[in-house]
Structure 1
Amino acid sequence: MGTSRSKRMTAALFLGTALTLTACGQEGADPAATGSAAGPAPGNVEADSHDGAPHYGENNGFKVPKEMSRSGEKAARKEAARIEPVLERLWKAKVWDPERVRAALVAAGYRNVGSEQKPGTLTVQTMDARFETDHYVTPEGTRIAFQVRRDACVTAFTQPTNYQVAVNGPYMETGCFEPKGGH
């Protein structure tokens, strides 16, 4: 009798293992049907990660700006308050091309215009290209960055639908502008 029971337990164990292994990698499997929960295993979830993705912070660290000092943030907010009415006026006038936006900001007193990311530098350029359906499109509009201090930036954009002015610390690899992709 002991042998029969042993064979049944072995068969049940084998069947359970086989079913588990055949379910691995199947897309669209219903977690409720298998009794398992969707998502990463407990303990692999990072705080503030998107969808609980493991290593999200590590893999997207390049998108996190450096912290601003209090004095840097205060200086950046002061510059943002100078830039915002210029962009509002341009947006209401339906002006969002880089050449005229640059000219308006120079007229407002910004002199150091270029692409070099260092304190006191204003960068004015076209919007980033984005992929739509089957090709890249550069949307109408202008993006702006003013590096106020080594630790503080004003970033802004103006486009047909809206405009925005914000303050942030610089990004490790791209200065004031938020990076679009990693390496």
Structure 2
Amino acid sequence: MVRMVTSTQRRRLGAVSALLAGAALLSACGEKPHDTAGAPAPSQSPSPAPSPAPTNSPSPGASPYVEPGVVDGAPHNGENNAYRRPSDMSPASEEAAEAEAARMEPVLKRLHARKKWDPDSVRAALTGELGYKIEKYDGKGKALGGSLTVRDMRERYENGEYVTPEGTMIGLRVRDDACVTAFVQPTNYEAKANGPFMETGCVEPPIGH
């Protein structure tokens, strides 16, 4: 026998169907997304290449005014001290000057040992023992003869005043281009062959100008 469905039952069945459909939708909304590990990664713009590390700029070169052979690198050092450079000697003149320096040195050694380094004692020994003549000039600077110069040490500035150290400076003109430049003082003595100096002849020039 066929069972008839009443209108009331149809309404109830419709309501149940609607509830089931809504539950299915809610269940679908709560599902987790698909695993994308195997999916290709989205394209990315390439990272910029790293900028090169800064290089140190080359150090500036030496001053163009530094002259060869200048130890301290002071500009114009050679030019400013040209007056302290002896002139050149010919080979024959250098040999003659070295011979006179060898004659003078033993006398200076003896004077130093006796503590006789004052100009009068040195002058007497060099003229008396070695026969040198004191160099003389007229009022106009013209040479009148002789070849030996004996003088006090150059004064220097110490402790707020100028003082003249003990000792004697010596210059002997051997030839026009050859000298013996020497000294004797409390600490040491020396006699060496060299050419004449630009401004002071056969006597050692001062330091500084």
Instruction: Decide: shared fold, TM above 0.5.
Output: yes
| Matched length | 149
* Structure 2 residue matching 1:108: 3-state secondary structure: helix
1:167 counterpart residue number = 193
Note the 1:1-183 alignment, pairs <5 A. Answer: 41-114=62-135, 116=137, 121-180=147-206
Q: Is the 8 A contact 1:126 1:142 kept in 2?
A: yes
Greater C-alpha radius of gyration: 2
Distance 1:55 1:73, change over 3 A: same
Cα offset, 1:42, TM superposition = 4.5
* Structure 2 residue runs without a partner (length 5+): 1-55, 138-142
When residues 37 and 171 of structure 1 are mapped into structure 2, their CA distance, relative to the original with a 3 A threshold, is: farther
Normalised by the size of structure 1, how large is the TM-score?
0.72
1:46 and 1:111, CA in 2 relative to 1: closer, same or farther beyond 3 A? Answer: closer
- Percent of aligned pairs with the same residue? 53
CA RMSD of aligned residues (A): 2.6
| CA separation of 1:107 and 1:49: change in aligned 2, threshold 3 A | same
Give the TM-score, by structure 2 length: 0.63
Gaps of 5+ in 1: 1-34
* 1:118/1:130 CA distance change after superposition, 3 Å: farther
Query: Match for 2:123: what amino acid?
Result: R
- The structure with the greater share of residues assigned to helix is 1
The residue type equivalent to 1:125 in the other structure is R
C-alpha distance in 1 between matches for 2:144 and 2:65? 39
- Counterpart Cα distance in 2 of 1:55 and 1:162: 32
Q: Give the whole-Å Cα distance in 2 for the aligned partners of 1:44 and 1:136.
A: 34
